[in-house]
Amino acid sequence: MDRRDFMAALASASVAAGVSRTVTTDAAQTKAERPKRLAAGDTVALVAPASATFQSMDVDIARESLETLGLKVKVGRHLLARHGYLAGADKDRAADINGFFADRGVDAVLPIRGGWGSARVLPYLDYDTIRRNPKILLGYSDITALLLAVHAKTGLITFHGPNGMGRWDAWSVEYLKKVLFNAEAVTFENPRTMTDRNSLVQIENRIRTLVSGKARGRLLGGNLTVLTTILGSPYVPSWDGAVLFVEDVGEDLYRVDRMFTQLKLVGALDKIRGFVFGTCAECGPGEGFASLTLEEILTDHIKPLGVPTWFGAMIGHQTPQWTLPVGADVEIDATRGTITMLEPAVR
């Protein structure tokens, strides 16, 4: 029995006995590249790698949100372009991203929105330029394709957090400042406050532990649909020793089941050391279907792995959200429902 088989057997025995455990990576990962932290007066570039933005007022709102943080804003040449449902031609959307990474006057690149289309620009990105000019790249949803591809190709830590038109509420901004401005090694945890004054227990933002224990590894993930769309391509990092996090929106639960089956069949799930699910907003059973619940789907696909697993994290589309460092080393505690950065993700 080799070490991997031994660890798998040990994991199964631990889960069967209800024992918490700590999991670490088999070997040290190559140290990731950290971008420079943000500061007041820095410049953020707005780009549109995915769906079209039809209202110029949305650009104004994104700009003003960034300016309230003391940041300056540059706008991509093709930000309001349109090619059907896309924000212009694939090469044009990629050109804005390449240009801003090459621009020494830009400190961070922020997609204005997700939707669909980021995966189409991946072959046209200049990864050598991105590698030579490491900068903060921030976004979520369809931007998952960019975050994973840039990390896979360059080693640069990217950030799963608000898009330009996303949530800029006080709770989300507090985490963004801690990670990107203050260079803190943050512990991410759901809010504990009661939203209903008449409630005796916490109702909203609860977590659910499927497999207790702690795990350390490189944090990878994002939107489940987008992630599975690029599986098998050269734009996906290695899953070896990873802590996988996912979320989704507007997917019938049988599709969620199908996507986890795909992750299982390509061998990705066998390589991870921990798992966190955020939210799945508007994810119902689908018309005419008897359905598994999300918890049952996770119990079928993730719990048998024996790795620390929990769901209900502040990662998703319709809740305040954390700013998570994709490619950074973290420790999760599935019993407490926390993700702890092991070092700052910016320098």
Residue 317 annotated among the catalytic residues of the structure? yes
| 97, pLDDT greater than 90 | yes
Q: What is the pLDDT of residue 197?
A: 64
Q: Point out the catalytic residue in the list 51, 141, 172, 212.
A: 141
Average pLDDT over every residue of 92-116: 98
- Each residue's pLDDT tens digit, 286-340: 776 678 999 999 999 999 999 999 999 999 998 899 999 999 999 999 999 999 9
pLDDT bucket at 25, cuts 50 / 70 / 90: very low
Query: Each residue of 216-238: b (16+ CB within 10 Å) or e?
Result: bbbbbbbbbbbbbbbeeeebbbe
Q: Are 135 and 69 in contact (CB under 8 A)?
A: no
Q: What is the pLDDT of residue 26?
A: 34
The 8-class DSSP code of residue 49 comes to S
Query: Could you tell me the pTM of the whole model?
Result: 0.90
Q: What is the pLDDT of residue 196?
A: 63
Distance of alpha carbon 122 from alpha carbon 232, whole angstroms: 14
Residue 67 annotated among the catalytic residues of the structure? no
| 23, pLDDT greater than 90 | no
Average pLDDT over every residue of 169-194: 94
Q: Are 236 and 326 in contact (CB under 8 A)?
A: no
| 198, pLDDT greater than 50 | yes
Average pLDDT over every residue of 39-67: 97
Domains by residue range for the chain, with CATH? 3-30+186-341 (3.50.30.60), 43-168 (3.40.50.10740)
Average pLDDT over every residue of 129-137: 98
Average pLDDT over every residue of 34-50: 98
Q: What is the pLDDT of residue 318?
A: 83
Average pLDDT over every residue of 114-137: 98
Q: Are 269 and 300 in contact (CB under 8 A)?
A: no
Task: Name the residue with higher pLDDT: 18 or 178.
Answer: 178
| 6, pLDDT greater than 80 | no
| 9, pLDDT greater than 50 | no
Average pLDDT over every residue of 81-106: 98
Share of the chain above pLDDT 90, in %: 83
Q: In the predicted model, what is the mean pLDDT of the chain?
A: 91
Q: What is the pLDDT of residue 317?
A: 92
Using DSSP's 3-state secondary structure scheme, residue 46 falls into strand
| 28, pLDDT greater than 60 | no
Strands 108-111 and 72-75: unpaired
Q: What is the pLDDT of residue 17?
A: 38
Q: What is the pLDDT of residue 195?
A: 61
Q: Point out the catalytic residue in the list 78, 151, 317, 331.
A: 317
Residues near 263 by beta carbon (within 8 Å), at least 6 away in sequence: 228, 231, 269, 301
Type of residue found at 85: Y
Residue 160 annotated among the catalytic residues of the structure? no
Q: Point out the catalytic residue in the list 172, 212, 247, 301.
A: 247
Tell me which residue of 116, 190, 146 sits closest to 326, measured CA to CA.
Answer: 146
Sign of the alpha-carbon torsion through 180, 186, 187, 192: negative
